[in-house]
Structure 1
Amino acid sequence: MARGAAVEFFLLGPLEVRLHGKPAKLGGQKQRGLLAQLLLNADEVVPTARLIDELWGERPPPSAANSVHVYVSQLRKVFGDGRLATRQPGYLLDVGQDELDARRFERLLGEGRALRARGNATVARRLLGEALALWRGPPLADLRHEEFAQGEIARLEELRLAAVEERVEADLELGMGGDLVPELDELVRANALRERLRAQLMLALYRSGRQAEALDAYRQGRRILHEELGLDPGPALRELEQAILRQDPKLRGRSGDARTVQAAARARRAGLAIAVGALVLLAAGIATAALELTRGGRRITRLPANSVGVIDPRGDRIRAFVSIPGTAPSALAVGDGAIWVADTDGNSVSRIDRSTQVVRQTIPVGGGPAGLAVGGGGVWVANGLDGTVSRINATTNQVVQTIAVGNGPSAIAFGAGALWVANSADGTLSRIDPDTGHVTRTLPAAVGATGVAVGFRRDRHRERV
Structure 2
Amino acid sequence: MTRRTTSRVLVSQHRRPGADTAPEPGETSLQVGVLGPLSLVVDGRNCTPSAPKPRQLLAFLILNANRLVRADECIAELWGSHPPKTAMSTLQTHVLYIRQILRNASADRSHTLVTRNQGYQLKVAAQASDRLRFEHLAQRGREASVTGSFARSSQLLGEALALWRGPALTDVPSGALSSAHVIELEEARKGVLEWRVEADLQLGRHQDLLDELGTLATQHPTHENIQAQYMLALHRSGMRPQALGVFHRLRCRLRDSFGIEPVPRLRRLYEAIDAEEPALLRLTGCTAT
Q: TM-score range by the shorter chain?
A: 0.7 to 0.9
What value does the CA root-mean-square deviation take over the aligned residues? 1.8
The question of whether the paired residues in 2 share the 8 Å contact of 1:85 and 1:93 is answered with yes
TM-superposed CA distance for 1:145, in Å, is 4.5
TM-superposed CA distance for 1:103, in Å, is 1.2
TM-superposed CA distance for 1:128, in Å, is 0.5
Q: Does 1:62 align with 2:90?
A: no
Give the TM-score taking structure 1 as reference length: 0.52
Q: Aligned letter for 1:113?
A: R
* SS of 1:91 mapped into structure 2: strand
TM-superposed CA distance for 1:104, in Å, is 0.9
Task: Please give the alpha-carbon distance, in whole angstroms, between the structure 2 residues aligned to 1:22 and 1:253.
Answer: 50
State, as a whole percentage, how many aligned pairs show the same letter: 38
TM-superposed CA distance for 1:147, in Å, is 2.5
- Structure 1 residues 171-201: Cα deviation after superposition (integer angstroms, max 9, x where no partner): 1000112221111111111111211100110
Task: Please give the alpha-carbon distance, in whole angstroms, between the structure 1 residues aligned to 2:56 and 2:143.
Answer: 35
Q: Does 1:122 align with 2:151?
A: yes
The question of whether the paired residues in 2 share the 8 Å contact of 1:175 and 1:252 is answered with no
- Structure 1 residues 316-336: Cα deviation after superposition (integer angstroms, max 9, x where no partner): xxxxxxxxxxxxxxxxxxxxx
Task: Please give the alpha-carbon distance, in whole angstroms, between the structure 2 residues aligned to 1:76 and 1:144.
Answer: 21
User: Residue 60 of structure 2 aligns with which residue?
Assistant: 37
Q: Does 1:78 align with 2:101?
A: yes
Gaps of 5+ in 1: 255-465
Whose strand proportion is higher, 1 or 2?
Answer: 1
Task: Please give the alpha-carbon distance, in whole angstroms, between the structure 1 residues aligned to 2:120 and 2:194.
Answer: 37
The question of whether the paired residues in 2 share the 8 Å contact of 1:7 and 1:79 is answered with no
- Structure 1 residues 1-21: Cα deviation after superposition (integer angstroms, max 9, x where no partner): 9xxx83111011111111123
- Pick aligned residue for 1:47 from 43, 61, 70: 70
User: Residue 227 of structure 1 aligns with which residue?
Assistant: 256
User: Comparing 20-29 with 160-169, which one deviates more in the overlay?
Assistant: 20-29
Alignment map for 1:334-413 (pairs within 5 Å): none
* SS of 1:165 mapped into structure 2: helix
| Higher gyration radius (CA) | 1
- Compared CA separation, residues 47 and 59, structure 1 to 2 (3 A): same
Give the TM-score taking structure 2 as reference length: 0.83
- Structure 1 residues 355-397: Cα deviation after superposition (integer angstroms, max 9, x where no partner): xxxxxxxxxxxxxxxxxxxxxxxxxxxxxxxxxxxxxxxxxxx
Q: Which has the higher contact order (CA 8 A, sep 6+)?
A: 2
Whose helix proportion is higher, 1 or 2?
Answer: 2
The question of whether the paired residues in 2 share the 8 Å contact of 1:45 and 1:89 is answered with no
The question of whether the paired residues in 2 share the 8 Å contact of 1:86 and 1:92 is answered with yes
The question of whether the paired residues in 1 share the 8 Å contact of 2:56 and 2:173 is answered with no
The question of whether the paired residues in 2 share the 8 Å contact of 1:174 and 1:253 is answered with no
Q: Does 1:11 align with 2:34?
A: yes
* SS of 1:161 mapped into structure 2: helix
- Pick aligned residue for 1:100 from 121, 126, 129: 129
- Compared CA separation, residues 144 and 227, structure 1 to 2 (3 A): farther
* SS of 2:127 mapped into structure 1: coil
TM-superposed CA distance for 1:86, in Å, is 1.2
Task: Please give the alpha-carbon distance, in whole angstroms, between the structure 2 residues aligned to 1:140 and 1:25.
Answer: 13
Task: Please give the alpha-carbon distance, in whole angstroms, between the structure 2 residues aligned to 1:25 and 1:150.
Answer: 20
Task: Please give the alpha-carbon distance, in whole angstroms, between the structure 2 residues aligned to 1:25 and 1:13.
Answer: 13
The question of whether the paired residues in 1 share the 8 Å contact of 2:80 and 2:176 is answered with no
Q: Does 1:158 align with 2:181?
A: no
TM-superposed CA distance for 1:146, in Å, is 3.0
Gaps of 5+ in 2: 1-22, 284-289
- Structure 1 residues 244-293: Cα deviation after superposition (integer angstroms, max 9, x where no partner): 11212222235xxxxxxxxxxxxxxxxxxxxxxxxxxxxxxxxxxxxxxx
* SS of 1:98 mapped into structure 2: helix
Q: Does 1:132 align with 2:161?
A: yes
The question of whether the paired residues in 2 share the 8 Å contact of 1:172 and 1:253 is answered with no
TM-superposed CA distance for 1:25, in Å, is 3.1
Alignment map for 1:257-276 (pairs within 5 Å): none
TM-superposed CA distance for 1:126, in Å, is 0.3
TM-superposed CA distance for 1:150, in Å, is 1.4
- Compared CA separation, residues 55 and 13, structure 1 to 2 (3 A): same
